[in-house]
Amino acid sequence: AQSVTQLGSHVSVSEGALVLLRCNYSSSVPPYLFWYVQYPNQGLQLLLKYTSAATLVKGINGFEAEFKKSETSFHLTKPSAHMSDAAEYFCAVSSGNTPLVFGKGTRLSVIA
């Protein structure tokens, strides 16, 4: 079985500060890993995904994530937070032929 743990249900950063959202996964097979963003009352938007290619994955809106097998982590970062980054972020894992399993989400607040 696969699972995802997102540390911190709520993260608050100042505008212009580094964003770090943590995600650890558990998988018995090589995982596919995803980060999605959800704005209020909207669906999911894919930020980036890891599918066994480069371990450092660059996504949209300046986000990136690094797959670290030894740490079973896939943390999401952005060098400089913008007000428009305030949203709910979900990490998800799949084995490639199984449905995505989502973490509980982390709400990012950006303070002016």
Nearer to other proteins, 101 or 108 (CB): 101
Find the binder of other proteins among 17, 49, 64, 72 (CB under 8 A).
49
Q: Do residues 49 and 57 make contact, with C-beta atoms less than 8 angstroms apart?
A: yes
Nearer to other proteins, 3 or 80 (CB): 3
Among 5, 17, 22, 51, binds other proteins (CB under 8 A): 51
Q: Is 86 in the site for other proteins (CB under 8 A)?
A: no
- The footprint of other proteins on residues 19-38 (CB under 8 A) is 32, 36
Catalog residues that contact other proteins under the rule CB under 8 A. Answer: 32, 36, 41-46, 49, 51, 90, 94-97, 99-105
